[in-house]
């Protein structure tokens, strides 16, 4: 029997920089991180209950590995697969232990609807700065070579291009040139997405979308010379990904 052609778009929601602590109600730069996350999860349930999956791009906890258990319960309440990658405030080993064998998991490679998603670890022990180890770049290279017929979204925590916020850009992926040297060899790459900057960001490079999403907690003011709180509310990014590789995306912000 012939396989039916895929016609429906894939629906993905990106959440990022949750900074969850063990105790509910903890604050980051004055903002209640639980209040932001709960409002974002409620909005996702209202507007995106038909999403194929959630993508969580790092800083899932705020320097407390014990918070992963609470986070697994909170994200599990969505009833959707949640694929997670680590940021500079995470603990990759503790994270994959806590998310093992649940709907919330540390999948590194997801293939669905004619698309593939490659989840990279740009965190580096002992520093908040981003770096892609040789193994991460080799992993990406192999998947792009073997999945050249799949539209590809590459996901990581740190920004691989300057965000024009100088204090954050000191932490951007240090070997970004090596990343783009891989990406430039594969026309199947449609988008690179990240978190870390706690702000919305959108650019294009050689026809590839370069996108960041707002944090679910405090927002940082773009273009500020040092850390400054932006009064914009928390939010997330949604994607509709067509089978022909076309990408539609937008930002949704909640009311607190
Ligand atoms: Fe963060």
Which residue range forms the structural domain that includes residue 71?
10-253
Mean pLDDT taken over the chain: 96
In a domain, 4, yes or no: no
In a domain, 231, yes or no: yes
Distance 12 CA to ligand 1 centre (A): 21
- Inform me whether the pLDDT recorded for 152 exceeds 70: yes
pLDDT value for 1: 44
Mean pLDDT (whole number) for 72-94:
97
In a domain, 204, yes or no: yes
In a domain, 5, yes or no: no
Per-residue tokens: 35: 């209040």
In a domain, 35, yes or no: yes
Distance 110 CA to ligand 1 centre (A): 24
**Tens-place pLDDT, residues 159-178:** 999 998 999 999 999 999 99
Number of compact structural domains in the chain = 1
In a domain, 98, yes or no: yes
The C-alpha atoms of residue 69 and residue 74 are separated, in whole angstroms, by: 9
pLDDT value for 4: 58
In a domain, 27, yes or no: yes
Query: Which protein residues have their CB within 5 A of the ion that is ligand 1?
Result: 17, 59
Distance 149 CA to ligand 1 centre (A): 33
CATH of the domain at 101: 3.60.21.10
Distance 231 CA to ligand 1 centre (A): 16
Distance 232 CA to ligand 1 centre (A): 16
Distance 128 CA to ligand 1 centre (A): 10
Distance 197 CA to ligand 1 centre (A): 7
**Tens-place pLDDT, residues 186-234:** 999 999 999 999 999 999 999 999 999 999 999 999 999 999 999 999 9
In a domain, 3, yes or no: no
Mean pLDDT (whole number) for 3-31:
90
Mean pLDDT (whole number) for 17-22:
98
Distance 220 CA to ligand 1 centre (A): 10
Share of the chain above pLDDT 70, in %: 98
Q: How confident is the model at residue 112 (pLDDT cuts 50, 70, 90)?
A: very high
Q: How confident is the model at residue 136 (pLDDT cuts 50, 70, 90)?
A: very high
CB 206 within 8 Å of CB 190: no
């Amino acid at each position: 029997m012939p396989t039916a052609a895929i016609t429906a778009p894939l629906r993905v929601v990106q959440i990022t920089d949750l900074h969850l602590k063990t105790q509910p109600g903890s604050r980051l730069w004055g903002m209640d991180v639980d209040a932001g996350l709960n409002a974002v999860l409620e909005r996702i349930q209202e507007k995106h209950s038909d999403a194929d999956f959630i993508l969580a791009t790092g800083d899932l906890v705020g320097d407390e590995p014990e918070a992963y258990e609470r986070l697994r319960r909170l994200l599990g309440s969505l009833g959707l697969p949640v694929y997670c990658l680590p940021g500079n405030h995470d603990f990759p080993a503790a994270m994959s232990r806590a998310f093992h064998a649940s709907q919330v998991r540390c999948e590194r490679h997801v293939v669905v609807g004619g698309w593939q998603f490659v989840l990279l670890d740009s965190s580096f022990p002992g520093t908040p700065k981003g770096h892609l180890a040789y193994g991460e770049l080799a992993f990406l290279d192999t998947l792009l070579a073997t999945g050249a017929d799949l539209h590809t979204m590459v996901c990581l925590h740190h920004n691989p291009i300057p965000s024009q916020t100088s204090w954050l850009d000191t932490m951007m992926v240090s070997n970004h040139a090596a990343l783009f040297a891989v990406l430039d060899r594969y026309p199947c790459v449609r988008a690179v997405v990240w978190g870390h900057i706690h702000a919305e960001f959108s650019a294009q490079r050689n026809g590839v979308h370069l996108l960041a999403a707002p944090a679910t907690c405090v927002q940082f003011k773009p273009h500020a010379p040092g850390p400054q709180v932006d009064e914009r509310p928390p939010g997330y990014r949604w994607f509709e990904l067509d089978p022909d590789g076309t990408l539609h995306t937008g930002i949704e912000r909640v009311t607190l």
